[in-house]
Structure 1
Amino acid sequence: MRLNRLLGLATACLLAPLALPSPAEEASENDGDTRVYLEAYGFFPLETHSKTTLDNNSTKETLDLSDVLDMLTGVFSGKVAVEKGRFGLQAGLDHLSFSTSETVSAWNSSNPIQNERHPRLPQRRVNSKGTIKSVTDTEQTIFDLALRYRAGEIQKPKMTPGSVSFIGFAGMRLIDASLDMDVSFKDDVTVEGILPSRQLQRDIADEASETWHNTWVQPLVGMNTTLALGEDWQAFLAMDAGGFGLNGKQDLSGTIEAGVAYALGNSAQISLAYRYFGIDYSAHNGRNGYSSTQNGVSMGFRWLFD
């Protein structure tokens, strides 16, 4: 009897090092590892509303997806994050450039020309009517940098069904934006009810054409949460907000995105989401700025390196 007990104890001691850790123990061990996340995605806005103001002259546009694709001249969107344990650092870059064209029948513009060609024309402001074409080139680059903290499970392409991961972050958003508006008048344009000479039309059109460029920084806060629907399927929700009126008369930006992701092996995912993005900026003097809201479909690829 005593020999059987000794043999049993010896067998247990020999097999103990071969025992597999429990899921909780394994998660605890992996929790201190370093992980790198990469994401590249494309945003396809089904509807875009924008307003551009240059030197108090405003133009408005409502575009669908086909309009945006026709006017798009450059785009790039991507994110990267490094996490060690529960803390990490993340960065994102969104670049967009496009050109819009609009034909209007009336224009109100600054005109500081000391006009001697016609004494009835005002020196400060003019009201023009006729066939007036406005072409606006817009370029916007947004760079996000933030510290993050994770609660819940480690985000992976494959997760235990029912597990939840939550990440909160805070940092800064750098926005670089430039607007270039080119105005051209046709022969039927009248200024203050007067049909001016072609040279005077060109002078006023040159003055109505404006270029504006600004770079500013916004405080940024946000979160994203992931729920594992199955081993390969996940649902996610992400939100962020920046600005809060600190660097302009109007200064606010924000994103809301909700969607699903599917695992492509153990280290990659493909995602499909509905995304809303808005930005509203006006300089302190109120003379220059722009606003834009977009909502549509976002598709992306994610990679995990650990």
Structure 2
Amino acid sequence: MTDLPPVVAAPNSNWAATAEFYALIPWADSNTTVKGFDAVTTLNPSEIFGEQLQSAFAMRASVEYKRVGLLADVSYSQLGAQQSFNTSSELLSGNSTVSSINGIYDFALRYRFGSREAAVGVPGEFSLIPYAGVRVVEAQLVVEAQLQNPRQFVKQGKLSRTWAEPLIGLQGSVFLAPRLRAFGRFDLAGFGLAGEQDLTGNAQLGFGYAVGNNTSLNISMRYFGQTWNNGARLDNGYTSHQYGPEVAVKFFF
């Protein structure tokens, strides 16, 4: 007897919501500039999670009425003093450290084409959701460099800034099997409006597998990039590239 796919009941409410808790497991390359002084940092996941990470929180959520809705994506991390490198001089050894707090807070209006988002569906069923809103970026970075003699680290400067920038994006998913779906996301924000350089963006592709009628385990590959610089003579700014797997659990209501 042929197994039939599960019957998905039609939603009996105009309202729907999702909540997703996630963790990015990244390789991270960054360049931090304070008062014209550059510090270059390269970290792998074992260094981040084994030595540097002090606190972190990440969650996405959405709510919609019929096809129109709101979404939010909140990500916060705090890293301790990360070993970095700088161009040495007569006074400096070439070794430096960067301590960082980084928060990314997205809030946007969205519209859905296709079927309502769900953990279980019919193969070929899809949703496509463009969105637009605001991204709030919080950056606090402290740079210290090691003197040649005596061998001690001295604070070179601090970058502390929070700003808002326009955000546009697109996310979508398609069912490959009743409990298996492919999904993707792409967004850009900034467009040079909050500094001489100002741009952030995400690119993400992955798969979700339903472990219940309303719960999905997701795994994906994600890239997240940031660049900001004030363009002053002794400039402040930073560039960051994070890339690696992201794991998540997503609930559908």
Instruction: Decide: shared fold, TM above 0.5.
Output: yes
The alpha carbon displacement at 1:248 in A equals 0.4
Aligned to 1:291: 239
Which structure features the higher share of helix residues?
Answer: 1
1:156-171 alignment runs, 5 A limit: 156-171=118-133
2: distance between equivalents of 1:210 and 1:105? 16
Aligned residues: CA RMSD: 2.2
Structure 1 unpaired stretches of 5+: 1-22, 108-127, 190-201
Q: How many residues align?
A: 244
Asked if residue 81 in structure 1 is aligned to residue 43 in structure 2, the reply is no
- TM superposition score normalised by structure 1: 0.75
The alpha carbon displacement at 1:104 in A equals 5.3
Pair 1:48–1:159, CA change in 2 (3 A): same
2: distance between equivalents of 1:242 and 1:52? 20
Aligned to 1:134: 96
Asked if the contact 1:31/1:85 (under 8 Å) is kept, the reply is: no
Aligned to 1:262: 209
Asked if the contact 1:280/1:292 (under 8 Å) is kept, the reply is: yes
1: distance between equivalents of 2:174 and 2:243? 23
2: distance between equivalents of 1:105 and 1:71? 23
* Structure 2 letter corresponding to 1:102: S
Asked if residue 48 in structure 1 is aligned to residue 28 in structure 2, the reply is yes
1:10-89 alignment runs, 5 A limit: 27=10, 30=11, 33-45=14-26, 47-69=27-49, 70-89=51-70
Q: Secondary structure, in 3 states, of the residue corresponding to 1:209?
A: strand
Aligned to 1:102: 84
Asked if the contact 2:119/2:212 (under 8 Å) is kept, the reply is: yes
* Structure 1 letter corresponding to 2:237: G
CA radius of gyration, larger in: 1
Structure 2 unpaired stretches of 5+: 1-6
Task: State the Cα deviation string for residues 205-251 of structure 1 (Å, max 9, x = none).
Answer: 75x62112111111000011101001100000111110011110110
Task: State the Cα deviation string for residues 139-185 of structure 1 (Å, max 9, x = none).
Answer: 11111000000000111000111111111100000011111112342
Aligned to 1:244: 191
Q: Secondary structure, in 3 states, of the residue corresponding to 2:88?
A: strand
The alpha carbon displacement at 1:51 in A equals 0.2
Task: State the Cα deviation string for residues 72-116 of structure 1 (Å, max 9, x = none).
Answer: 222111011111100001111010121312365714xxxxxxxxx
2: distance between equivalents of 1:156 and 1:258? 17
The alpha carbon displacement at 1:303 in A equals 0.5
2: distance between equivalents of 1:50 and 1:43? 16
Aligned to 1:112: none
Asked if the contact 1:131/1:188 (under 8 Å) is kept, the reply is: no
Aligned to 2:218: 271
